[in-house]
């Protein structure tokens, strides 16, 4: 096979060009279970034959609810595509109410799950969704039939039917409905075709330096369109894909796999930086000073400075003394990380670059399959603080003559539309085919796209001033003292912030200043802690216009998580839910300072 036009063509394409002994691997009972390219193709055929026996037909829908990627996920995904069934991937952290809505709205006939907890969750939903016939396990689960029970050795009739489907499934046919998690309201089903996703895969593999000699790790669930597309892009270039079960397991698995590349959300990298900072606090005085100096140097690092011999020598010394230990955290062979789904702090990109690990941030949406722009690895084709240049075949324009406005996109990656929502589709995609993203942006140096905020998230204070909360939050999060934050102030006289401090750093500061440390829930009310954090915020305020400055803040002891529904699966804050949780405290703060 010389080319691929549909998702289920990718593994036969790999078999023809880069057959692998380990095409995909995942953990099973603590060991790596490996699948060759040929094994995967055979398993997909077995699975597709079993699905035909279930009576599934082209155009029907099947849901997949899983908390991590696996070969089984890919096998089922491709088998369903092979017979023209639309796949509905669902985030494991989806609320019970949203799960019921998605299953009902998508008209899913079957649902496949990973793990007994998700089995119970899906079965509860099934009682409210009459059209859902059965819930199966992706792997054997007690009390449930599984994918293995369905799969069967294909007979001549199966093979003939599969050949027929291969001939009638067109690249423009819809292949998946992905429900956007959103930060407000009910999720919307984004309808994507084979061509949408394949066009994105082909544009992406032209830009990333991954090839058939490389190993990659995947830790994000494949319900993320970003991870799903990139995983298939890895397969298209013949890289060996290793699935790990969680963010917590990732660094341990990296010691085994020693990957060359992986994709990530910024939150993981922020946690790695925090881990390094926490480790520095427990070193000797000299070790602590050296580590903190390396962190400070790294955050200000720029590659072009290496042309200066003294700077090069300084960097080389830190690399030998400190940075090589950071690289070992990732297995020692890591060359680069592809970052998306949420804004990446520029200082974080500089820090990893100083350590010899190149971070490249991209930008996209579920509606654009997903990648729109990407910072490339070639010299002159990346710029920290931006999301890079538009990928081949995709047009981007800023819909405002002032130079900063809504980002609009046109190309083969733009969705077919929102499932069952013609009015919303017409509002999002204009008559000329431009998709209106709802994000604000501008061009930097004429070609690099920079995201400046979300149009709908802009709020206006009672004095009539517009404020971008993302701008404030991004600057606050650069501080090592701040772990999580959210700015708000719509219709109020001034903006405030909810702040979760970096408690290990705060604890060290308390010990150095003879302040008795107890639990975070008590320390956020400590007067000296509040005074210290006030100084931190005031220093940050110097970077803002007067109307943007944080006048007051609430210190929060809790970490916001996806499990509580306060973060989306891509780690974006869910503003309305966070504001609801702390509504009483917010009202008291404004009342006390009005």
Please say whether the beta carbons of 233 and 258 come within 8 A: no
pLDDT band for position 594 (cuts 50, 70, 90): low
User: 26: part of which helix (H) or strand (E)?
Assistant: strand 24-28
How far apart (Å, rounded) are the C-alpha atoms in residues 68 and 258? 20
Q: Please choose, from the candidates 572, 547, 544, the residue with its C-alpha nearest in 3D space to the C-alpha of residue 560.
A: 572
The pair of three-digit structure tokens given for residue 216, joined into one six-digit string: 């990659």
Q: How many CA atoms lie within 13 A of 567 on its CB side?
A: 17
Q: Find the range with the poorest average confidence among 22-31, 531-540, 563-572.
A: 563-572
Contacts of 322 (CB under 8 A, 6+ apart): 290, 291, 294
CA nearest to 83, candidates 109, 112, 44: 44
70 band by pLDDT with thresholds 50, 70 and 90: very high
Beta strand segments in 489-551, E = 496-501
> Peptide bond before 151: cis, by omega within 30 degrees of 0?
no
Q: Which CATH number is 458-592's, of 3.30.300.30, 3.40.50.2300, 3.50.50.60, 1.10.10.10?
A: 3.30.300.30
Q: How confident is the model at residue 181 (pLDDT cuts 50, 70, 90)?
A: low
Per-residue pLDDT, averaged over 344-350, amounts to 83
User: Which stretch, 137-146, 192-201, 452-461, has highest mean pLDDT?
Assistant: 192-201
d(CA 193, CA 417): 10
* Tokens 């849901």 sit on residue: 63
pLDDT in tens, 452-476: 877 777 787 877 777 888 889 988 9
Q: CB-side exposure of 7: number of CA atoms within 13 Å?
A: 32
Tokens of 369: 């399959």
Mean pLDDT for 519-541 is 93
Which of 61-65, 138-142, 221-225, 360-364: highest mean pLDDT?
61-65
* Mean pLDDT, rounded, for 79-98: 93
Count the alpha carbons within 13 Å of 570 in the hemisphere toward its beta carbon.
Answer: 25
The reported pLDDT for the residue numbered 183 is 47
Query: Rounded to whole angstroms, what are the CA distances from 479 to 32, 179, 509?
Result: 39, 34, 15
**Residue 523 pLDDT > 80:** yes
Across the range 366-395, mean pLDDT stands at: 93
| Mean pLDDT estimate for the chain | 90
Is pLDDT above 50 for 215? yes
Q: Which residue has the higher pLDDT, 491 or 52?
A: 52
Q: Is 138 within 8 Å of 147 (Cβ atoms)?
A: yes
Assigned CATH topology for domain 7-245:
Rossmann fold (3.40.50)
What ranges do the domains of the chain cover? Answer: 7-245, 265-412, 458-592
Residue 189, pLDDT > 90, answer: yes
């Amino acid at each position: 096979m010389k080319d691929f036009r549909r998702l289920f063509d990718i593994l036969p394409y790999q078999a023809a060009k880069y057959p692998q002994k380990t095409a995909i691997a995942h953990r099973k009972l603590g060991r790596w279970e490996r699948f060759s390219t040929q094994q995967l193709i055979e398993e997909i055929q077995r699975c597709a034959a079993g699905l035909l026996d279930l009576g599934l037909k082209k155009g029907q829908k099947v849901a997949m609810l899983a908390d991590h990627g696996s070969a089984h996920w890919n096998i089922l995904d491709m088998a369903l595509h092979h017979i023209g069934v639309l796949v509905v991937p669902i985030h494991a952290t989806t609320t019970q109410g949203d799960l019921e809505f998605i299953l009902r709205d998508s008209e899913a006939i079957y649902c496949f799950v990973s793990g007994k907890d998700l089995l119970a969750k899906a079965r509860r939903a099934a009682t409210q969704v009459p059209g859902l016939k059965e819930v199966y396990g992706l792997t054997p689960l007690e009390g449930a039939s599984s994918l293995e029970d369905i799969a069967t050795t294909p007979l001549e009739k199966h093979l003939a039917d599969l050949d027929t489907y291969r001939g009638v499934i067109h690249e423009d046919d819809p292949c998946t409905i992905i429900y956007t998690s959103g930060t407000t309201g009910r999720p919307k089903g984004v309808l994507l075709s084979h061509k949408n996703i394949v066009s994105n895969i082909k544009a992406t593999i032209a830009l990333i330096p991954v090839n058939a000699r490389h190993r990659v790790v995947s830790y994000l669930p494949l319900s993320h369109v970003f991870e799903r597309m990139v995983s298939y892009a890895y397969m298209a270039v013949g890289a060996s894909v290793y699935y790990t079960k969680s963010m917590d397991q990732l660094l341990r698995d990296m010691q085994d796999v020693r990957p060359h590349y992986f994709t990530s959300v910024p939150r993981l990298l922020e946690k790695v930086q925090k881990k390094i900072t926490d480790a520095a606090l427990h070193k000797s005085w000299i070790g602590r000073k050296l580590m903190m100096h390396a962190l400070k140097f790294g955050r200000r690092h720029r590659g072009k400075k290496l042309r200066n011999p003294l700077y090069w020598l300084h960097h080389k010394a830190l690399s030998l003394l400190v940075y090589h230990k950071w690289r070992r955290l990732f297995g020692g062979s890591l060359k680069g990380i592809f970052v998306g789904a949420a804004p990446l702090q520029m200082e974080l990109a500089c820090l990893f670059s100083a350590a010899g690990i190149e971070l490249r941030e991209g930008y996209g949406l579920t509606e654009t399959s997903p990648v729109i722009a990407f910072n490339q690895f070639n010299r002159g084709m990346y710029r920290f603080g931006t999301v890079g240049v538009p990928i081949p075949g995709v047009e981007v324009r800023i819909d405002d003559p002032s130079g900063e406005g809504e980002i609009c996109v046109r190309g083969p990656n733009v969705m077919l539309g929102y499932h069952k929502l013609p009015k919303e589709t017409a509002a999002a995609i204009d008559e000329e085919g431009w998709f209106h993203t709802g994000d604000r942006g501008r061009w930097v140096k004429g070609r690099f796209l920079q995201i400046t905020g979300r149009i709908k998230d802009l709020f206006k204070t009672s004095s009539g001033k517009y404020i971008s909360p993302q701008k404030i939050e991004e600057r606050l999060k650069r501080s090592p003292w701040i772990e999580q934050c959210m700015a708000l102030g719509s219709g109020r006289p001034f903006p405030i912030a909810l702040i979760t401090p970096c408690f290990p750093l705060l604890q060290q500061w308390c010990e150095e200043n003879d302040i008795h440390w107890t639990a975070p829930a008590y320390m956020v009310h400590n007067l000296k802690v509040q005074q210290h954090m006030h100084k931190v915020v005031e220093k940050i305020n110097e970077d803002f216009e007067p109307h943007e400055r944080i006048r007051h803040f609430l210190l929060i002891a809790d970490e916001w998580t996806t499990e509580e529904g306060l973060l989306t699966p891509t780690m974006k804050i869910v503003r309305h839910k966070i504001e609801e949780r702390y509504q009483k405290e917010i009202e008291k703060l404004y009342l006390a300072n009005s």
